[in-house]
Amino acid sequence: MTATALSVRNIRKSFGEDEVLKGISFDAHSGDVISIIGSSGSGKSTLLRCINFLERADSGEVAVAGEIIKTHKAKDGQLSPSDKHQLKQMRARLGMVFQNFNLWAHRTVLENIIEGPVQVLKHPKKKAVADAEILMDKVGISQKRNHYPSQLSGGQQQRVAIARALAMQPTVMLFDEPTSALDPELVNEVVQVIRQLATEKRTMIMVTHEMALAREISTHLIFLHNGRIEEQGPPQLIMENPKSDRLRQFIGKF
């Protein structure tokens, strides 16, 4: 039995009257690749953003490597982190890759990658650069190290964003639809990087529309519908034998 890298308990979240997450729980063990699928509006991205508190859930609990993120109920009814210092540490251990890359526009590729290690982890710059070089090689972006994000294609930007997240040596990687903002011909270069990370047994949670990728690399698939986990299990099993009509319909679209 491997250690629990990420544990999500009973996350609830409403936007006004609209309850988008109705109590979600799951665990990711070390080396797990969990893909979260579901139609748009099913709350997939919100769930991911609740995990690192970019979005505040209304209730629930998140633990990284066994350590629970301390929270309290704020006046507005939302779950508020109690210990800012702990939250920052936890966030540093959750590498986030955004749909729209969100590379810092005023920094070069290299500067984007070393920003976190230097500023948050307080690594010496030399070490951060040396580490970044390995990562840039890994995602195949070394030649562009001194380019600014605006000078790169979407696929290149997303690869840099992955390297930036990896540079924090996170316990868990969170991918928020990493390929859906890309032109079709650029999807593959990013998919390849993600596939490689999966073979290295990195713990990853990925919200995605790429059914083929989800099926290929996931150890576990979660189908979200109307704010609930409708079905989950090993990808082959549940994709070939969907129990619910909704999942059948959803898969049928692809």
Partner 1 sequence: MVIHTYIEYMGWGAGGWGDEFFFGFLMTLKISLSAYALAVIFGFFATTAKLSKNIFLRFMAVSYTTVVRALPEILMVLIVYFTVAGLAETALVKAGFVDKGFQFNPFWAAVFALAFVAGAFMAEVLRAARLAVPEGQIESATAIGMSSLQIFMRVILPQMMRHAIPGMGNLWLSITKDSAIVAVLGAFSELLYTGYRAAAATKEYVFFYGVTAVLFLLITLISIAVIQWMERHLNRGYA
Q: Kindly list the residues in this chain that would bind partner 1 in the complex (CB under 8 A).
A: 52, 54, 84, 87-92, 94-96, 98, 100-108, 115-116, 119-120, 148-151, 161, 164-165, 168
Select from 101, 91, 92 the least CA-distant residue to 178.
101
Q: Name the residue with tokens 């979660």.
A: 222
How far is residue 104's CA from residue 125's CA, in Å, rounded to a whole number? 18
∠ Cα 250 201 103 (to 5°)? 75
What is the rounded end-to-end Cα distance, in angstroms, of the chain? 35
Q: Name the residue with tokens 């307080």.
A: 122
Give DSSP secondary structure letters for 109-124: HHHHHHHHHHHTS---
Cα dihedral 53→5→175→81 (10° resolution): 0
- 47 vs 94, beta carbon nearer partner 1: 94
How far is residue 53's CA from residue 83's CA, in Å, rounded to a whole number? 12
Tokens standing for 251? Answer: 């898969």
- 150 vs 199, beta carbon nearer partner 1: 150
- Closest contact distance (angstroms) between CB of 33 and partner 1 is 20
Cα dihedral 232→234→237→238 (10° resolution): 20
Tokens standing for 78? Answer: 């939302």
Tokens standing for 55? Answer: 């979005």
